[in-house]
Amino acid sequence: MHARFKPNQSRGGRNTPQSSRSQTVTRSVPEPQKIMCDICEHSKSRAAFSRTKLDYLQKRLQRDPSLDPEVARIISCARHNNPKVEAKCENCGWTKGKNEFNKTQWTNTSKEDGGECLECQLRDQYEPGEHDSDIENDPRRTDSDESDE
């Protein structure tokens, strides 16, 4: 039987050093103290940016050390980096959360659907009171409405 490994070669277990291929040589680039946000155009400290964005900036500075992060707008701060979670319904005008809209409307960037929330879409499908059960199960109905009947 032939030996697969040479005596000085490791099998890559936990206690073995990393391979030379995974060790990268990085040029030392000084970390900037102030960074310009590319959206709000304010110079902010490193704490205002996410770790992912700072890593991206570091890679850009390694490729092009002539970039000045205090002047060049390369990354956005954490305040402007958050995903959109609210939208304004074009029918009722209320600002509602992402879960109040249809999924296809939320992902579709065109305005074909009109940007209506689910409540407005359902309201447009039929008139309230069309069914007797609608009147009894209406959560907006108060006790004073029952005395009017």
Number of domains in the chain: 2
pLDDT of res. 140? 67
42 and 70 inside one domain: yes
Per-residue pLDDT of 84-122, as tens digits, reads 777 888 888 888 888 888 877 766 655 555 578 888 888
CA distances to 30, 53, 74 from 36, rounded to whole Å, are 16, 12, 8
43 and 64 inside one domain: yes
Cα(70)–Cα(109) distance, integer angstroms:
33
Does 9 fall in a domain?
Answer: no
The answer on pLDDT for 53 being more than 50 is yes
What is the average per-residue pLDDT within 5-17?
56
Does 99 fall in a domain?
Answer: yes
CA distances to 5, 25, 67, 97, 104 from 32, rounded to whole Å, are 47, 20, 11, 37, 41
106 and 71 inside one domain: no
